[in-house]
Amino acid sequence: MAKTEFDLIDTFFTQQQVQRADVNLNIGDDCALTSVLSGKFLATTTDTMVENSHFYPNIDPRDLGYKAIATNLSDLAAMGAEPAWVSLALTLPKSDENWLHAFSQGMFELLNEHHVALIGGDTTSGTVPSITITAQGFVEKNTALRRDQAKVGDWIYVSGTLGDGLAGFYLISDLYQGKKSAVNFDEEWLIQRNFRPTPRISLGITLAKYQLSHCALDLSDGLVGDLGHILQRSGVSAVLNLQDLPCSAALVNLYGRQQAEQFALQGGEDYELCFTVPNHKKALLDQYLAPLKVPYTCIGRIVEKNPQQNIIYQRQGKMVDLQISSFEHFK
């Protein structure tokens, strides 16, 4: 006999939980009950992943669980928030215990690492698998990293390396569509970067806590598109130094530096942070970020609004003409 919704919830989604003092009532009632310290803002984000729009049917459910959590925690990191709780809405054609077991393991791998509780959700039946996560965390009032806070003169930074997520997506697509049957070491590394992005939690918290930055977002749609949101909301423009774009050895090995830069600019699903730092905080930034062991790179600077060109590209100080469109899923 098929397990009921209540059995499933109990089996896979309550047994691997961390305990948090701020969770008063967990899964199983009409609502979860949690408490929030005064003086803190609650940061809330929601992301949906739909089969064939955001992932292929053959994805390892463990990777899917991991990625669903990672993309949401990345949004919290982009506000400088410390993650606390998530809710899960899961739609599946049938209740498959092996699938649920692997999916929940992938979720809890990342949830438990960051001491985040799953406080509720809904499991529904539907022909197309779909996952919606709502994640919440805390940030001290007036320290949150907002898209509208970039100032002229701020330096533009990114964490990690860019373009891996998009290159990984192309490889995953080629494998799924049978255009490719095996991958080498570098290709496998890029695929893993897509399946298992690293939410930059400690970086986001440190930037906010020490007020090293007031402006950040996470790179889900690609640097050009996402930086464009910062520029538009802050009423400024940017100069990007192409030679400084951080690209992974795997990406450069496979595609060469020039193509790697294109991936870095256009690429989606990197889930790295892009943030701006006032000039007088630059030295402090290096001091506070050193212990985190999170790679970060200065790639440009915020300039006054240029109505003709939102982003000015330079290489070694010389202007370069580039047309880049941002990444759209499965188009």
Nearer to its own copies, 35 or 112 (CB): 35
As beta bridge partners, residue 273 has 218
| Helical ranges in 87-179 per DSSP H | 97-113, 164-176
Instruction: Specify binding-site residues for ATP.
Output: 121-122, 147, 220
- The residue behind tokens 């697509």 is 173
- Pull the structure tokens for residue 74: 């990345």
CA atoms within 13 A on the CB side of 195: 20
Binding mask 205-224 for its own copies (x = CB under 8 A): -----------xxx------
Min dist. Cβ of residue 239 to its own copies (A): 24
Which residue in 159, 290, 298 sits closest to 219, CA to CA?
Answer: 159
Instruction: Specify binding-site residues for substrate.
Output: 54, 269, 327
- Of the candidates 75, 82, 154, 270, which one interacts with its own copies according to CB under 8 A? 75
Of 57-65, 97-105, 135-143, 240-248, the window that binds its own copies (rule: CB under 8 A) is 135-143
Element (H, E) at 48: strand 40-50
Of 10-18, 117-125, 177-185, 247-255, the window that binds its own copies (rule: CB under 8 A) is 117-125
29 part of the interface to its own copies, by CB under 8 A:
yes
91 part of the interface to its own copies, by CB under 8 A:
yes
Q: Is residue 133 helix, strand or coil?
A: strand
Residue 313 near residue 322 (C-beta atoms within 8 A): yes
Element (H, E) at 152: none
287 part of the interface to its own copies, by CB under 8 A:
no
* Residue 154: other Cβ atoms inside 10 A: 26
Q: Which residues bind its own copies (CB under 8 A)?
A: 24-25, 28-38, 40-54, 75-76, 78-79, 81, 85, 87-89, 91, 119-122, 124-128, 130, 132, 134, 136-137, 139, 141, 144, 146-148, 216-218, 233, 329
